[in-house]
Structure 1
Amino acid sequence: MSATPHRRAIRGLTLIELLVAMAVGLVVVLAAVSALTVARRGFTTVDAASQLRDNGRFAADMIQRIGVQTGYRDVFFAATPRQPTTTDPAPSIMGFNNAKVNLTSPLTSSTARPATEAGTGSDVLIMRYQPAQIHTMTVSSTDADKTMIDCAGNAPATVADINTTAARDALMASVFSIGVNQGEPTLMCTYYDSATSAWLSSPIVQGVENFQVLYGVDGVTAGTATAAGAASPNVPNAYLRADQIGVSGNSTATNANWRRVRSVRIGMVLRSAKGAAQDSQTQTFYPFGPTKGSATGTTGSAFADATNDPGTVFQPTPDGRLRQTLTFTIHLRNDQGL
């Protein structure tokens, strides 16, 4: 009689009880995994967004740093007038629309970008300036003070002898464009390497898939030579593409127009690695910002021209990446004249 209750107390689970316990446990595990997955994905998105902001800040800082130098000339040349000459020196700022860098001659020509290549519709921006000399009592030194750098961070150790005619127009250059690095569209820096006597390109920020440039000009009409002696209040009254500043068949007029550039408006679209976005939707980006061309205009219409400048209306294929636009304007503080 006393054994029966004892046997009932120590008996195991029935099959139904075991199945119910397993089902409850499975629900708990699935809920935990789901919560972990959501948390992990949220962390990935936040981390990618933070990286995009950091990349954007770095790219803007670098371009603005070079922009501040653009047009700079050593005090010796800035303080002395140019003598009459037939030489037409290259402008301090110029660029190419919807193109990529030609490493053979990056300052005078560009290469067409295939439609299938990353960065389609992006532009090339060229900024030139003069390294500063360490001035001595005898002004015979050719040592540079190393305050002027190119986009790769290189500072020349020497400058041209200021007593030579060619020294006045001896400028260093930084070229910004979009290239491909490790399979990703990248903001590239092209610079002249004195050690190898060749133009080299190095990556600045990876994940920049769209790079747009407009030039704030003073008194320039698209494709037209500016009248000699035209007033120049040094305030931009229009923003033009690089191909609108050039004058067909007239390099002198083209250079004169480039010298009337007073500011540069930069627009970029940066992207993260795949899988960072919470969803994949078709999006349209306006690298030059959301400003409307008129009160009734559509978003981004102020600087967008899908026909002549397709990169200004950018609609990438949905691929699970986060994207961010970056827009800023650089006002050139150095005289862009001769």
Structure 2
Amino acid sequence: MRRRQRGVAVAEVVIAMTLSLLVTLVAATLLHASNQDFQFNGANTRIDDNGRFALAIIGQAVRQAGFPGEPDAVAGPLPPLAVEGRDDASVATGAAGMGTPQPSVNGSDVLAIRFSSAAIAGAGAKAGSAMLNCAGFPADPGEWAWSIFYVAKASDGVAELRCKYKSEHSWGADAVLRGVDAFHVLYGLDTDTPRDGIPNLYLTASAIDARDAALPPAEQALQPNWRRVASVRIALLLHGERGSRPGPLLSSYALLPGDDAAALVDEASLPPAMRHRARRIFGTTVALRNP
């Protein structure tokens, strides 16, 4: 009788322990799933904030490109290009302007924007003080300011969108935001004569360079196709923290579908540590206000 009672007691203990382990396992699974959802939602929120911020900074720079605009009758040399770019390249921080092309990050592009100070424009101090480069500084009197956007890797290997500008004594660059997989640009050309300010086709920087290179030498120096840019279409791919997207599947992202076949990022081509992250594409088209 006692042996039977002991056996029943042992069985009850085993059942209780098994149930406890099952409850613990279920709780751990739910906690892990909840933590993944929290990490995924948090990463997407940060990506959304970063994307909106980047589009606002670049959009503001593009809208003031070419200020104060080209006069109807030009006396002397033409002003510098309001907008210029490079495909599949980066830039060196200390070099003047875009300098010599540097290796790109995932085929990202370079977007260079220029505008004049109030002294060149002949406007009042109030108008000139509102014209700031991507670092928040106004142009020096008598000079053309730069805002150059490109992607480069930080010291820890994380790619970031940077803004390059000319300070009073030298060239510098600041990070706009981190976690950028790629940055691509298309340029809307107004091919009508006379111009109506509406783009008729969107081309990459290389395609515009090719159109200018096909012109007679006397016209090539004027870069007339670059001067016909009426709008800029930009696209950014941003990513979140490691492990912010659960699941074994890999994805590919077309930043400018149908317009630029090179604007494609395939997670399978990325380092293992950069895969399985929350990602999102941000894009916009900005018209140039100063033809």
TM-score interval, normalised by the smaller of the two chains: 0.7 to 0.9
The aligned amino acid for 2:199 is: P
Q: Distance in 2 between matches of 1:279 and 1:329?
A: 33
Structure 1: gaps (5+ residues):
1-10, 161-169, 221-229, 289-299
Residue 3 of structure 2: aligned partner: none
Larger Rg over CA atoms: 1
Q: State how 1:30-69 maps to structure 2 within 5 Å.
A: 30-69=25-64
Q: State how 1:218-233 maps to structure 2 within 5 Å.
A: 218-219=190-191, 230-233=193-196
Q: State how 1:118-137 maps to structure 2 within 5 Å.
A: 119-132=105-118
**Of 244, 264, 283, which residue of structure 2 is paired with 1:313?**
264
In the TM superposition, residue 18 of structure 1 has moved relative to its aligned partner by 1.6
Residue by residue over 1:186-226, the C-alpha shift from the partner in whole angstroms, topping out at 9 and shown as x without a partner, is 111111121xx221111111111111111001229xxxxxx
Residue 164 of structure 2: aligned partner: 190
Q: Distance in 2 between matches of 1:314 and 1:34?
A: 33
In the TM superposition, residue 78 of structure 1 has moved relative to its aligned partner by 7.2
Q: Assess, with a 3 A threshold, how the Cα gap between structure 1 residues 142 and 186 changes in structure 2: closer, same or farther.
A: same
The aligned amino acid for 2:40 is: T
Cα RMSD, aligned residues only: 2.9
Q: Does 1:159 align with 2:141?
A: yes
Q: Distance in 2 between matches of 1:78 and 1:241?
A: 23
The aligned amino acid for 2:282 is: L
Q: Distance in 2 between matches of 1:251 and 1:150?
A: 32
Residue 171 of structure 1: aligned partner: 144
Q: Assess, with a 3 A threshold, how the Cα gap between structure 1 residues 80 and 327 changes in structure 2: closer, same or farther.
A: closer
Q: Assess, with a 3 A threshold, how the Cα gap between structure 1 residues 280 and 268 changes in structure 2: closer, same or farther.
A: farther
Q: Assess, with a 3 A threshold, how the Cα gap between structure 1 residues 41 and 257 changes in structure 2: closer, same or farther.
A: same
Structure 2: gaps (5+ residues):
1-5
Residue 286 of structure 2: aligned partner: 330
In the TM superposition, residue 279 of structure 1 has moved relative to its aligned partner by 1.3
In the TM superposition, residue 256 of structure 1 has moved relative to its aligned partner by 1.9
| TM value normalised by structure 1 | 0.73
Alignment partner of 2:152: what SS? Answer: strand
| TM value normalised by structure 2 | 0.84
Q: Assess, with a 3 A threshold, how the Cα gap between structure 1 residues 23 and 108 changes in structure 2: closer, same or farther.
A: closer
In the TM superposition, residue 315 of structure 1 has moved relative to its aligned partner by 1.0
Alignment partner of 1:285: what SS? Answer: strand
In the TM superposition, residue 255 of structure 1 has moved relative to its aligned partner by 2.4
Q: Assess, with a 3 A threshold, how the Cα gap between structure 1 residues 208 and 252 changes in structure 2: closer, same or farther.
A: farther
The aligned amino acid for 1:28 is: V
Residue 281 of structure 1: aligned partner: 249
Q: State how 1:111-122 maps to structure 2 within 5 Å.
A: 111-113=101-103, 119-122=105-108
**What number of residue pairs does the alignment pair up?**
275
Q: Distance in 1 between matches of 2:16 and 2:70?
A: 86
Q: Assess, with a 3 A threshold, how the Cα gap between structure 1 residues 41 and 217 changes in structure 2: closer, same or farther.
A: same
Q: Which protein is richer in helix relative to its size?
A: 2
Q: Does 1:239 align with 2:202?
A: yes
Residue by residue over 1:298-336, the C-alpha shift from the partner in whole angstroms, topping out at 9 and shown as x without a partner, is xx3x2132xxxx2x122123722011111210111112x
Q: Is the 8 A contact 2:234 2:283 kept in 1?
A: yes
Residue by residue over 1:76-113, the C-alpha shift from the partner in whole angstroms, topping out at 9 and shown as x without a partner, is x9789532x2x343211101111111334453534241
Q: Assess, with a 3 A threshold, how the Cα gap between structure 1 residues 47 and 29 changes in structure 2: closer, same or farther.
A: same
Q: Distance in 2 between matches of 1:144 and 1:219?
A: 31
Residue 16 of structure 1: aligned partner: 11
The aligned amino acid for 2:283 is: T
The aligned amino acid for 2:248 is: S
